Amino acid sequence: MSSAIDAIASGLVVSCQAEQGHPLHGPQFMAAMARAAAAAGAVGIRAEGAEDVAAVRAATGLPVIGIRKIRYSGGQRLFITPTYADAEQVVAAGASIVATEGTARPRPDGQNLATLIRQIHDRLGVPVMADVDSVESGLYAHRAGADLLASTLSGYTTDRAAAPDGPDIDLVAALAAATPLPVVAEGRIWTPEHVSAALAAGAHAVVVGTAITNPLEITRRFVSALRTPTRK
């Protein structure tokens, strides 16, 4: 069961995601992004939804970390792969690892994380990556049977607008020290220096999304620099 985890060891996983309404929404664009990432040396792809998972898998042959993102409460609350049915869809589409929210927040369907992980293991036979926001949730996900942890949700489970600009390298280090599980560094990794820092902190692998695959957000950053000129 751990071959996909081994396959991404010490490597870069590129997250290829574009929500509905984004100019690059659609499996053809995500497959092209994934091909570019693979050609440049990525060892895995993170993708959302069965269509994109199937497209990036077919385009690259790389292991895919599959998720489904579901918005609740009028879009206010995002949940990553809340249910077994969501996991089943992305694994049927070719995901080698399923990522799910690994915090103790009540799940939208009231299900228990340990039960969900057991079902994924028993019926789908793939490892489960728990996207966590803190050391506490990392320990919780470890007890629930997660195979690897990721810092994905740091800064996003309370006030999303208050998330800092850079990655939570301290959380990566703390998770690596607190549990024996492999820890994936994910979330707001913008530079090669962030990648090096994450590996030095004990990361098993590094996931980069926005900084590589979201030209909308990248362009916004450049445009906002025009609006705040520095004095000579």
Ligand X SMILES: CC(=O)N[C@H](C=O)[C@@H](O)[C@H](O)[C@H](O)COP(=O)(O)O
By the criterion CB under 6 A, which residues form the site for ligand X?
15, 17, 67, 78, 80, 152-153, 156, 186-189, 207-211
Assign residue 155 a region (left: φ > 0; alpha: ψ between -120 and 50; beta: otherwise).
Answer: left
Q: How far is the CB of 60 from ligand X (least distance, A)?
A: 18
**Is 182 or 187 the residue whose CB approaches ligand X more closely?**
187
One-letter amino acid at 138 equals G
User: Which residue, 15 or 60, has its beta carbon nearer to ligand X?
Assistant: 15
Closest residue by beta carbon to ligand X? 209
**Residue among 8 and 67 whose Cβ is closer to ligand X:** 67
φ, ψ for residue 172, nearest 5 deg: -60, -50
Least distance from ligand X to the Cβ atom of residue 17, Å: 6
Q: How far is the CB of 167 from ligand X (least distance, A)?
A: 8
Q: Kindly state the smallest distance separating residue 68's Cβ from ligand X, in Å.
A: 10
Enumerate the β-bridge partners of residue 98.
Answer: 66, 128
Task: Choose between 87 and 123: whose C-beta lies nearer to ligand X.
Answer: 87
Q: Phi and psi dihedrals of 47, rounded to 5?
A: -140, 155
